[in-house]
C-alpha cells in the first residue's frame, strides 16, 4: 500500500492535468492544482529551515570539521529569521512587507548578502581568465573553431570590436566584429540551442510518461 | 589626474602582457596567480580611474527599447524581478533603466517577483529610481508592487488566467481590488508588455513558455550575460528584445540617454561598468594569444 497509493495519486493527477490542457471544461482543474501546489510548496520552507538547523547543530555537537562555519550559518539564519518575523525597524504596519525599506531585514540584505553574493559571483572573472588561457588552444580543427568564435564574441562584447572594424564598408557589414558576434549567436549558437531544447523536451515527455505510468519510481525513495 | 591614472594602468597592464608574451616565445607558461593579478588590475583600474565608451544599441536591444517607446502612454507593463544579488550587478542596471523608461513614457507598471530575493531588489529600484525621479506618481494608480510569491512556474500558470487569485494584495497588504491600476487587469493577457528580468529558473524562459505563448503577450527580457545564448531560439518571435549582461544594460542606457534628455543626468551604472568589462576582455584575449604562442613553441620543441 505504501507504494501503490502514491503511484495511484501520481497517475490520477498526471492524467487529469493532461486532460485539462486538451478538454476545455477541465481547464479550471489546472489552476486549482497549481494553487494546491503553491500551498504545499510553502511547507518546503519550513522543512528547509528545520533541516538546515538540524544539520548544523549536529555538526556543532559532534565538533565535525569546519564546525566554526556552522555557527556563522546558524547565527545568520536566526538573525534574518528574527528580523523578518518580528519586523524589526519596519516602518510599516503588520501587513507590510518583511523587507520594506528601513527595516533591519532590508538593511542586512543590502549591506551583507548583496555584496557577499556579488563578490562570490564576480570571482568567476578570475577563473574564466585562467581557464581561457589553458583551454582555448588551437590543438585541432574543432578547438581552433572554438577559439576563433571565443575571440569574436569577446571582442564583439566590447567597444574595441567596433573600433577595429569600423572601416569595413556597409556592403560587407557582416564582417564587422560586432555583427559577426551577432551572427554567431543567431546562427550556430541558435542551431545548437534548439537541438538541445528539442532533446530536453523529448526527455521531459518520456520521463513524465514513465512517472504517470508508474515505471519510474525513484521519487518514492529506496531502490524499488 | 584620472587620465594619468588610466595611462599608468595601461602601461602596467600592457607592459606586463608584452613581457609575458616574450616569455611565452621562449615556451614558458604563465602561472595562474599572475593571470589573477592582471585581471585584478584590469578590473580595478577603470573603477578607480573611470573610462567610458560610447555605446550603440544593437537590434536585439533596440527591439525592446522601441517597443516600450512606441506603446501608447497608459499601456500596462508587467516587470518581474526574478534574480538574486549575485546577478544584480548585471541585471539591476537594466531593471532601473527599463522601469525609468516605462514610467517616463507614462505607462502603468506592475512589479512582481518569482524569487524571494527579487522582492528586496525590487524595493531598491523603487527607492533609488522611482520615488526620487517620479515623486508625483501614485502607488496603486501609476505603479504597484505585488512583491514575491512562492510557487515558481505554478504562479505563472495561475496568473496567466487570473492575476488576483495568486496576488490578492500588493506587497503592503492592500487588496488589489482597491488599486486603480488593476481596474482593467484580470490576467496576464491584459498586459501590453511583460519584461522578465533574471537568468535562473524560474526566469525569462518560463515567462515565455507559461505566459507569453499561451496569453499571446509580447515578452522582453533582461538577463545575465551567460544566460543570453540560451534565449536566442525565442528571439525575435517569442521574445521581442533582449538585454544580455552589462553590455545589454549599457546599450539600453545609451539609447535612453540619446532619446530621453532626462536620463542623461541620472546614474548610468551599465555604461560605467563597460570600462572594467572591456579591459578584462582584452586582457583575456591577450592571455589566449600568449597561451597559444607558448603552446606552439612547446609543440615545435617536442617535434624536434
Q: Please report, for chain B, the start and end positions of each structural domain, with discontinuous segments joined by +.
A: 2-52+272-303, 59-261
Largest CA distance in chain B: 83
Name the minimum distance, in Å, from the CA of A110 to any CA of chain B.
8
Q: How far apart are CA B28 and CA B160, in angstroms?
A: 60
Residue A53, CA distances (Å) to A59, A69, A81, B116 in order:
10, 13, 12, 20
User: What confidence tens digit (pLDDT) does each residue in A112-158 have?
Assistant: 999 999 999 999 989 999 999 999 999 999 999 999 999 899 888 88
Nearest to A41 among B56, B154, B158 (CB): B154
Nearest to A31 among B85, B161, B171 (CB): B161
Q: What φ, ψ does residue B216 adopt, rounded to 5°?
A: 55, 50
Taking residue A178's Cβ as centre, other Cβ atoms within 10 Å add up to: 22
pLDDT of residue A29: 83
User: What confidence tens digit (pLDDT) does each residue in B53-76 have?
Assistant: 888 899 999 999 999 999 999 999
Residue B134, CA distances (Å) to B68, B171, B195, B262 in order:
18, 19, 20, 12
Whether residue B167 has pLDDT greater than 60: yes
Q: Cα B303 to the chain's mean position, in Å?
A: 48
Beta carbons of B281 and A154 less than 8 Å apart = yes
Q: Which three cell numbers stand for residue A104?
A: 533591519
Name the minimum distance, in Å, from the CA of A191 to any CA of chain B.
8
Q: For CA atoms A55, A56, A60, A66, give the dihedral sign.
A: positive
The closest alpha carbon to B106, from B136, B78, B142, B60, belongs to B142
Q: What is the CATH number of domain B59-261?
A: 3.40.50.10160
ipTM: 0.85
Beta carbons of A99 and B158 less than 8 Å apart = no
pLDDT tens string, chain A, 224 residues long: the values are 778 899 999 999 999 888 888 887 777 788 888 888 888 888 888 899 999 999 999 999 999 999 999 999 999 999 999 999 999 998 887 778 888 898 999 999 999 999 999 999 999 989 999 999 999 999 999 999 999 999 899 888 888 888 888 888 888 888 889 889 989 998 999 999 999 999 999 999 999 999 999 998 888 876 54
Beta carbons of B157 and A121 less than 8 Å apart = no
Query: What is the value of pTM for the model shown?
Result: 0.90
Residue B210: is it exposed, middle or buried by C-beta count within 10 angstroms (0-12/13-18/19+)? Answer: buried
Q: How far apart are CA A98 and CA A86, in angstroms?
A: 9
**Which of A38, A92, A120 should be substituted to probe chain B, the one whose Cβ sees the most B Cβ atoms within 10 Å?**
A38
**Which of A125, A143, A178, A188 should be substituted to probe chain B, the one whose Cβ sees the most B Cβ atoms within 10 Å?**
A125
Cβ(B265)–Cβ(B242) under 8 Å? no
Q: What φ, ψ does residue B33 adopt, rounded to 5°?
A: -65, -35
Amino acid at each position: 500500500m505504501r507504494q501503490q497509493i502514491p503511484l495511484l495519486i501520481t497517475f490520477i493527477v498526471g492524467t487529469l492535468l493532461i486532460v485539462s490542457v486538451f478538454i476545455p471544461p477541465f481547464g479550471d482543474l489546472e489552476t486549482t492544482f497549481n494553487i494546491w501546489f503553491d500551498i504545499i510548496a510553502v511547507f518546503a520552507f519550513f522543512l528547509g529551515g528545520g533541516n538546515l538547523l538540524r544539520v548544523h547543530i549536529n555538526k556543532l555537537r559532534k565538533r565535525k570539521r569546519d564546525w566554526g562555519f556552522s555557527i556563522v550559518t546558524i547565527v545568520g539564519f536566526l538573525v534574518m529569521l528574527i528580523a523578518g518575523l518580528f519586523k524589526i525597524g519596519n516602518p510599516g504596519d503588520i501587513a507590510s512587507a518583511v523587507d520594506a525599506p528601513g527595516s533591519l531585514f532590508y538593511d542586512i540584505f543590502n549591506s551583507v548578502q548583496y555584496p557577499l553574493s556579488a563578490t562570490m559571483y564576480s570571482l568567476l572573472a578570475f577563473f574564466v581568465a585562467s581557464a581561457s588561457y589553458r583551454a582555448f588552444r588551437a590543438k585541432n580543427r574543432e578547438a581552433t573553431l572554438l577559439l576563433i568564435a571565443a575571440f569574436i564574441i569577446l571582442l564583439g562584447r566590447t567597444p574595441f570590436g567596433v573600433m577595429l572594424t569600423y572601416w569595413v564598408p556597409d556592403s560587407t557589414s557582416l564582417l564587422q566584429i560586432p555583427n559577426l558576434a551577432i551572427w554567431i549567436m543567431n546562427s550556430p549558437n541558435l542551431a545548437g540551442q534548439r537541438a538541445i531544447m528539442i532533446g530536453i523536451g523529448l526527455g521531459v515527455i518520456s520521463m513524465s510518461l514513465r512517472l504517470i505510468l508508474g515505471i519510474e519510481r525513484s521519487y518514492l525513495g529506496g531502490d524499488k | 589626474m584620472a587620465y594619468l591614472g588610466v595611462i599608468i594602468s595601461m602601461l602596467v597592464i600592457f607592459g606586463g602582457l608584452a613581457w609575458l608574451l616574450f616569455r611565452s616565445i621562449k615556451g614558458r607558461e604563465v602561472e595562474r596567480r599572475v593571470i589573477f593579478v592582471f585581471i585584478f588590475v584590469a578590473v580595478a583600474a577603470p573603477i578607480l580611474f573611470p573610462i567610458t565608451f560610447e555605446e550603440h544599441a544593437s537590434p536585439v536591444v533596440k527591439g525592446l527599447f522601441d517597443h516600450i517607446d512606441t506603446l501608447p502612454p497608459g499601456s500596462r507593463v508587467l516587470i518581474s524581478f526574478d534574480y538574486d544579488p549575485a546577478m544584480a550587478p548585471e541585471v539591476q542596471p537594466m531593471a532601473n533603466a527599463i522601469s525609468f523608461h516605462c514610467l517616463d513614457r507614462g505607462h502603468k507598471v506592475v512589479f512582481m517577483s518569482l524569487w524571494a530575493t527579487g522582492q528586496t531588489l525590487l524595493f531598491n529600484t523603487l527607492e533609488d529610481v522611482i520615488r526620487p525621479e517620479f515623486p508625483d506618481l501614485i502607488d496603486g494608480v501609476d505603479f504597484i508592487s505585488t512583491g514575491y510569491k512562492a510557487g515558481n512556474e505554478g504562479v505563472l500558470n495561475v496568473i496567466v488566467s487570473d492575476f488576483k487569485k495568486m496576488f490578492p494584495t500588493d506587497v503592503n497588504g492592500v487588496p488589489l481590488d482597491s488599486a486603480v491600476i488593476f481596474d482593467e487587469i484580470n490576467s496576464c493577457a491584459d498586459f501590453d508588455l511583460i519584461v522578465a528580468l533574471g537568468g535562473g529558473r524560474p526566469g525569462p524562459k518560463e515567462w515565455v513558455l507559461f505566459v507569453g505563448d499561451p496569453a499571446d503577450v509580447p515578452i522582453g527580457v533582461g538577463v545575465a550575460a551567460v544566460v543570453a545564448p540560451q534565449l536566442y531560439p525565442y528571439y525575435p518571435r517569442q521574445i521581442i528584445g533582449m538585454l544580455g549582461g552589462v553590455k545589454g544594460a549599457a546599450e539600453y542606457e545609451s539609447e535612453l540617454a540619446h532619446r530621453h534628455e532626462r536620463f542623461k543626468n541620472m546614474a548610468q551604472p551599465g555604461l560605467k561598468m563597460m570600462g572594467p568589462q572591456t579591459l578584462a576582455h582584452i586582457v583575456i584575449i591577450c592571455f589566449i594569444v600568449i597561451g597559444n604562442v607558448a603552446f606552439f613553441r612547446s609543440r615545435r620543441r617536442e617535434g624536434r
